[in-house]
Amino acid sequence: MKERVLVAMSGGVDSSVAAALLVEQGYDVVGATMKLFCYGDDVPDRPCCSLDSINDARRVCQQLGVPHYVLNLESAFGRDVVGNFVDEYARGRTPIPCVRCNTFTKFRDLLHKADAIDASFIATGHYARIVDGALHRGLDPRKDQSYFLWGIHRAVVRRMLLPVGASTKPETRAIAHRLGLEVVAEKTESQDICFVPDGDHTKILRQRLGAEAPALSVGPLVLSDGRQVGTHQGYARYTIGQRRGLPGGFPEPMYVVDIRPNERAVVIGPRAELLGRGVVARELNWLGEPPALGANVLVQIRHRATPAAAEVVRVGADEIELALDEPVAAITPGQSLVLYDDTRVLGGGIIEAARRVRSALPILAA
Amino acid sequence: MPEPIYLDHAATTPVRPEVREAMEPFFGPRFGNPSSLHRWGREARVALDEARERVAVCLGARTDEICFTSGGTESDNLAVLGAWRARRAQGRNAVVSTPIEHKAVLAAVHQASREGAEERLCAMTTSCTVDTHSFDDLVRPDVAVASVMWVNNEVGTIQPIEELAATANARGVLFHTDAVQAFGKVTIDASRVPFDILSISGHKIGAPKGCGAVFVRRGTVLEPLFHGGTQDRGRRPGTENVAAAVGLARAAELTIAEHVEECAKLTAFRDRLERAIVAAIPDAVVHGRGARRAPHILSVSVPGTDSESLLMALDLQGIACSAGSACQSGSVTPSHVLTACGIRADIASASIRMSFGSLTTDACIDRVAAVFPTLVRKARGQSPMPAASAVGV
User: C-alpha distances in angstroms, B14 versus A324, B27, B72, B337?
Assistant: 69, 19, 17, 26
Q: Which amino acid appears at position B312 of this protein? A: M
Residues A94-97: contacts with CB within 8 Å, 24+ apart?
Answer: A94/A239, A94/A240, A94/A332, A94/A333, A94/A334, A94/A335, A95/A334, A95/A335, A96/A148, A96/A303, A96/A334, A96/A335, A96/A336, A97/A193, A97/A195
- Cα A95 from Cα A93, distance rounded (Å): 6
Nearest to A108 among B330, B375, B385 (CB): B385
B384 touches chain A (CB under 8 A): yes
ipTM exceeding the 0.90 mark: no
Compute the CA torsion angle A197, A200, A205, A207 (nearest 10 deg).
Answer: -60
Nearest-CA distance from B313 to chain A in Å? Answer: 5
Nearest to A54 among B312, B329, B381 (CB): B329
Catalytic residue among B321, B327, B341, B364: B327
B389 touches chain A (CB under 8 A): no
Q: Which amino acid appears at position B256 of this protein? A: I
Closest-CA residue of B relative to A104 is: B388
Closest-CA residue of A relative to B392 is: A283
Closest-CA residue of A relative to B380 is: A116
Q: Are B198 and B223 in contact (CB under 8 A)?
A: no
Task: Write down the pLDDT at residue A361.
Answer: 77
CB burial string B229-242: b at 16+ within 10 A, e below: eebbeebbbeebbb
Q: Are B145 and B166 in contact (CB under 8 A)?
A: no
Task: Write down the pLDDT at residue B391.
Answer: 39
Nearest to A69 among B312, B384, B393 (CB): B312
Does B331 contact A72 at a Cβ distance shorter than 8 Å? Answer: yes
Does B379 contact A116 at a Cβ distance shorter than 8 Å? Answer: yes
Does A116 contact B385 at a Cβ distance shorter than 8 Å? Answer: no
**Which residues are paired to B120 by β-bridges?**
B96
**Which residues are paired to A281 by β-bridges?**
A320, A351
- Cα B164 from Cα B130, distance rounded (Å): 9
Closest CA to B185 of B154, B148, B214, B150: B150
**Which residues are paired to B171 by β-bridges?**
none
- How many residues comprise chain A? 366
Does B386 contact A153 at a Cβ distance shorter than 8 Å? Answer: yes
Which residues in chain A come in under a pLDDT of 50? 41-44, 46-48, 366
The CA radius of gyration of chain B, in Å to the nearest whole number, is: 22
- Coil, strand or helix: which one is B107? helix
A87 touches chain B (CB under 8 A): no
Task: Write down the pLDDT at residue B390.
Answer: 37
Closest CA to A121 of A17, A2, A206, A36: A2
The catalytic residues of A are 101, 194
| Number of neighbouring beta carbons within 10 Å of residue A38 | 13
Calculate ∠ Cα A344-A346-A350, nearest 5°.
Answer: 125
Nearest-CA distance from A95 to chain B in Å? Answer: 13
Q: H-helix or E-strand containing B147? A: strand B143-147
B325 touches chain A (CB under 8 A): no
Q: How many CB pairs under 8 A join A and B?
A: 84
Name residues 267-296 of chain B within 8 A of A (Cβ).
none
Task: Write down the pLDDT at residue A245.
Answer: 86
- Coil, strand or helix: which one is B198? strand
Greatest Cα pair distance, chain A, in angstroms, is: 70
Greatest Cα pair distance, chain B, in angstroms, is: 79
The model scores a pTM over 0.90: no
User: C-alpha distances in angstroms, B94 versus A111, B80, B177?
Assistant: 48, 11, 17
Which of A39, A53, A71, A320 is most worth mutating to test chain B (most B CB atoms within 10 A of its CB)? A71
- Coil, strand or helix: which one is B171? coil
- Cα B83 from Cα A8, distance rounded (Å): 47
- How many residues comprise chain B? 393
| Bridging pattern class, strands A228-232 and A219-223 | antiparallel
- Cα B324 from Cα B299, distance rounded (Å): 9
Task: Write down the pLDDT at residue A359.
Answer: 79
Does A69 contact B333 at a Cβ distance shorter than 8 Å? Answer: no
> CA neighbours within 13 Å on the CB side: how many for B337?
28
- Cα A115 from Cα B380, distance rounded (Å): 9
- Coil, strand or helix: which one is B130? strand
- Cα A353 from Cα A350, distance rounded (Å): 9
Calculate ∠ Cα A194-B316-B370, nearest 5°.
Answer: 135
> For every one of its 393 residues, what pLDDT tens digit does chain B have, with 9 covering 90 and above?
678 999 999 999 999 999 999 999 999 999 999 999 999 999 999 999 999 999 999 999 999 999 999 999 999 999 999 999 999 999 999 999 999 999 999 999 999 999 999 999 999 999 999 999 999 999 999 999 999 999 999 999 999 999 999 999 999 999 999 999 999 999 999 999 999 999 999 999 999 999 999 999 999 999 999 999 989 988 999 999 999 999 999 999 999 999 999 999 999 999 999 999 999 999 999 999 989 999 999 999 999 998 999 999 999 999 999 986 555 556 667 788 999 999 998 999 899 999 999 999 999 999 999 999 999 998 887 544 444 433 333
